[in-house]
Structure 1
């Protein structure tokens, strides 16, 4: 099982220098990497370089290569127990319709000739038919094992969709699979909202890639290196919080290398290095947990304030007027600003009150 311990990139596109140490802490096999930074800082380029380097890991490193990936150990079996997957920023679930049970060509999935996700419904239908045949044969152990597998799968989906009663529904006549919500709604995978579609495109790809390795190489113990660009694509803020814990819980032997602009992502798991390509700074993700998202936006992502730009500008103007002598026109402007901001939110109303009623300490500081 091979995991990345260090990544070094020098002078490639927008990346002047990246050198990040992913050596694990005591008791862990690996650490994940979360790349951040402004647009143009090289997050996507870094993921592309890392992905391009991974198939060459059994070959000697080239001194002139712009990217060097250091592993804890070299693969000894041609990578048969190792999954490498790269998800680019724009992704949605693409699943082929099926007409009945049919054998899946797992080797073509491993060779990249077939996208694993397209075979999702085929795989689910095959498993359901296998369960039915096992029941006819009186093989209750197989029936129970497949039933437990489906129950676990439904549990994962229910967690991701935040609907405890979510269930898979099979139409045995048309060989279709849909999702049935607790409120009675029923949707096919093709009808899913883009956020859920984007999240499931990752989940089902890894699920079927894992199965392909088990079928072809008879390996139960799998390791994986998974690269995801803009993991928050299409995701509501709640899904942004859930997606990385969801994936790392289900695939605990997979190391994730992701790029993001989301504070909900960088603070979502404890065992990761958060590397800012703009500042060239590494932070332990555990140090970001418990920090307000507004603070992460201002301190980590460089946003000038933790509220909208218009309100921030109006507050700044109000403070400026309050701190000096004013003309009659400025008195009216100050009143208008105070009323406008106070009507927007309780938070802003409190800020206005503080400006209008400075504490003696603040007043003395201002006078000095």
Structure 2
């Protein structure tokens, strides 16, 4: 159970946004989904949250509060007309130094975090992780040239990138499993093989193929993905969508491996910009729930435009940065209602609507149509009736109404 999580985000100044509070939950950890029109400042908001979280890499919340108190104290002392020049100069320098420190972390954003005074210590011990993934992320794994011992650090900064070590780490662990089996260390061997089975099962989910296999290519110190009907391929030749997902999953796995547990249950706060980037719709529906299940004690702060992400988990607050409105739990809403009512976008293809509009215009002028226009009307009628991908009921009803009007007016050709 999460004991440390963001309860509220206070925006001091992020682009055109000033003095705004985004409440999440005071009592239990909830994820936050930031949405809003292009240009509303989603990425800038996430970067501001990242800047504040950097505080915990070197300092604690009590130290931040102390800076604020000292800046205020020196400011008050100066206002009392201290006459000594050297004292005045020292106070001004202290105010400037403390203000600079505060602004480094709090100029844009301040976070109200449950038990925040403990996070710096937990971070130093490797028991709390912080990570940020930008929208252009990709997984660029290094192919091992041999077996290399990978010694993971206890902690990593919010900007660190270690996902490129994942293949080397896999080869290292596979080699350990082989030696453990040769040395009759059954317990260690089984533990490592179970770990590989777990990774393979999750790759099956990501690649949406229950028949996928993760095979060790011992001749080339690499791993291959085997899918029936496809040529084998490795983790360095993935599409942008799969690369985007694996850049997140492998990064978080490696950060938690330094504190190996049976499951990846270390606490943390992870920021992901445009979580749906490059993903097919089927994966947009699954990716957020997959991450929250795989890393159960991580609080995710994400941005998205996708209705398939917005209703994929129930334990989340959705905040529209453009409208400045917070919503609770879209998991029971249909994609249609999210697209049209929340995102304010017509879900239907502009091409289909244009064809229907043209069909209506030709029908209204049926008596004056030339042969070419008659042929066009027939083509549109066939398209709207027989298109393999069914149109909405609303559009079907609209066409039926047009046809009915035409029949009532006596044009039944």
- Normalised TM-score (structure 1): 0.84
Q: Hey, what does 2:130 align to over in structure 1?
A: 84
1:128-157, Cα deviation, whole Å (9 max, x unpaired): 111111112211111111111111111011
Q: Secondary structure at the match of 1:357?
A: helix
Contact 1:117 1:205 in 2 (8 A): yes
CA-CA distance at 1:312 after TM superposition: 2.8
Find out whether 1:240 has 2:281 as its counterpart: no
For residue 107 of structure 1, report the CA deviation from its aligned partner. Answer: 2.7
Measured after TM superposition, the shift of residue 4 of structure 1 is 0.6
Matches of 1:266 and 1:186, distance apart in 2: 34
Structure 1 spans left out of the alignment, 5+ residues: 359-368
Question: Counterpart in 2 of 1:363?
Answer: none
Q: Distance in 1 between matches of 2:361 and 2:19?
A: 41
Mapping of residues 223-238 of structure 1, within 5 Å:
223-238=267-282
**1:300 maps onto 2:342 in alignment:** yes
The equivalent position to 2:331 in structure 1, one of 289, 302, 326, is: 289
RMSD of aligned residue pairs (Cα, Å): 3.0
Structure 1 residue corresponding to 2:266, chosen from 222, 245, 253:
222
2:170 to 117, 124, 128: 124
Match of 1:9 among 5, 8, 11: 11
Number of aligned pairs? Answer: 347
Q: Give how far 1:194 is off.
A: 1.4
CA distance in 1, matches of 2:352, 2:188: 62
Are 2:389 and 1:343 aligned? no
Q: Greater shift after overlay, 264-273 or 64-73?
A: 64-73
> Could you list the per-position Cα deviations for residues 319-347 of structure 1 after superposition, in whole angstroms to 9, with x for gaps in the alignment?
7898xx86955899899568526514353
Mean Cα deviation higher: 250-259 or 220-229: 220-229
2 CA distance for matches of 1:46 and 1:235?
23
* Residue 361 of structure 1: aligned partner: none
Q: Per the alignment, in what secondary structure is the counterpart of residue 317 of structure 2? A: strand
Distance 1:310 1:109 in 2: 52
Taking a change above 3 Å as real, the CA distance of residues 271 and 338 of structure 1, as seen in their structure-2 partners, is farther
* Segment drifting more, 349-358 vs 56-65: 56-65
Q: For the residues of structure 2 that align with 1:111 and 1:238, how far apart are their CA atoms?
A: 32
Secondary structure of the structure 1 residue equivalent to 2:327: strand
Check conservation: 1:178, 1:189, Cα contact below 8 A. Answer: yes
Cα deviation, residue 104, structure 1: 2.0
Aligned to 2:192: 146
Structure 2 CA distance, aligned partners of 1:328 and 1:41?
50
Q: How does 1:1-368 map to 2 (within 5 A)?
A: 1-16=3-18, 18-23=20-25, 29-57=28-56, 58-59=60-61, 60=64, 62=102, 65-76=107-118, 77-79=121-123, 80=125, 81-107=127-153, 110-111=156-157, 115-183=161-229, 185-214=231-260, 222-285=266-329, 288-303=330-345, 305-313=346-354, 315=356, 328-329=367-368, 340=380, 343-344=383-384, 345=387, 346-347=390-391, 348-357=395-404
Q: Is the 8 A contact 1:341 1:349 kept in 2?
A: no
Question: Which SS does the other structure have where 2:236 is aligned?
Answer: helix
Do 1:2 and 1:75's aligned partners in 2 also have CA atoms closer than 8 Å?
Answer: no
Query: What secondary structure is seen at the aligned counterpart in 2 of 1:205?
Result: helix
Paired with 1:263 and 1:9, the residues of 2 have a C-alpha distance of: 25
Q: How many Å separate the matches in 1 of 2:30 and 2:370?
A: 57
Deviation at 1:183, TM superposition (A): 3.1
